[in-house]
Amino acid sequence: MTDDEQDRIDRNRRHFLTVATAVTGLAGVGLAAIPFLSSLKPSARAQALGAPVEVPIGALQEGEMVRVLWRGKLVYILKRSDAMVAGLADNVANLEDPDSEVVEQQPDYAANPMRSIRPDFLVVEGSCTHLGCAPLEDFEVRPSEEWNGGFFCPCHGSKFDLAGRVWQGVPAPTNLRVPPHRFVRDDLILIGQDTGAA
Ligand code: FES
């Protein structure tokens, strides 16, 4: 392994620990809240039990990603640039399921090369399909590695492209899952509910 690769793995591990700590903290809040569910108003109780989550996206810049929790699961919302979208066509031969043929991994409306409703927004669950670690963003383009950006799982090295499509020859067997979602407005996404046809 080169020094550069070791560096990158060390950086990813540190980043992963930060994210894991943050998510563990949030999960702790969720668990602590459960005994009080019965005392919540109906709308607050529904939210805590897994009601859809509204996420404002108007301020997101290209290449920026937000993480939200829905039903205790981490969900990534990435705003892709035109270049990021164009790059999805480059390295398809490296992918295990480029055409989203494993139907459980996405709603029908995301079974396309971008795995999304709109080209500019990717919405995927932040849970590696190997053993559930949170993949880290790695959006740097490295042509020598045929890497146009994507996600890297720090636990056992699985790789996913910017549509959440898994690479061949890694431990993760399938693409990252796309949760049900829809655009309420241009600047607002609802996670956890769709219209069936987006
Ligand atoms: S949990 Fe991601 S590669 Fe094992």
CATH number at residue 63: 2.102.10.10
Does residue 185 fall inside a structural domain?
Answer: yes
Enumerate residue ranges in the chain where pLDDT < 70.
Answer: 1-49, 196-198
Q: 159 vs 21, 39, 128, CA distance in Å?
A: 22, 43, 9
Instruction: Judge if the beta carbon of residue 131 lies within 6 A of ligand 1.
Output: yes
CA 154 to centroid of ligand 1, rounded, Å? 7
Query: How far apart are the CA of 157 and the centre of ligand 1, in A?
Result: 6
Does the residue 20 lie in any domain? no
Closest to 138 in 3D by CA, of 162, 115, 119: 162
Annotated catalytic residue 156? yes
Number of domains composing the chain: 1
133 ligand 1 Cβ < 6 A: yes
Q: What is the pLDDT of residues 31-89, one digit of tens each?
A: 343 444 455 555 555 655 679 999 999 999 999 999 999 999 999 999 999 999 999 99
Task: Note the Cα 103 to chain centre separation in Å.
Answer: 17
Evaluate whether residue 100 is within a structural domain: yes
> What is the reported pTM?
0.78
